[in-house]
Amino acid sequence: MSAGIRSANLRILRAGGATFPPECLEYLYRLIHRACFAGEGYRDLPAAELCSLFRMQVGADFGIFADDVLHRWGLRNHGDLGSAVFLLAENGCLVLREGETREDYEAQGPIRIG
């Protein structure tokens, strides 16, 4: 676990905001980091694109256990995913796109793998 995400997880736990387990936040952080890095710098990642990428990657990484992992992580829908993204941003791990809202994630509906 990188120092930045480790520190953020500790801050979240100490503040009593541990809505999502550390492994969930680290997975999401690393996924966003990989998706945003464009060789020469970082690019914006719209909510709809992140949601689609997240669904595909979770399905590929966890296969038939993907639904169980999402349940254990507390991610029932894309609104929950947005809450995790905003939690990471509030703790200095991410910078949100200008004008990005939780509603952008909620509009993507439930997380369906496969």
Question: What are the residue ranges spanned by the domains of the chain?
Answer: 3-106
How far, in Å, CA of 76 to CA of 110, rounded? Answer: 6
Residue 39 neighbours by CB distance under 10 Å = 5
Structure token digits, residue 92: 């200095």
Question: For residue 58, is pLDDT > 60?
Answer: yes
For the question of whether the overall pTM of this predicted structure is more than 0.95, the answer is: no
Q: What does the mean pLDDT of the chain come to?
A: 88
CB 28 within 8 A of CB 88: yes
The confidence band for 1, taking pLDDT boundaries of 50, 70 and 90, is very low
* Cα distance between residue 72 and residue 24, in whole Å: 9
Share of the chain above pLDDT 90, in %: 61
| Interval 66-108: pLDDT, tens | 999 999 999 999 999 999 999 889 888 888 989 999 999 999 9
C-alpha 68/C-alpha 96 separation (Å) is 28
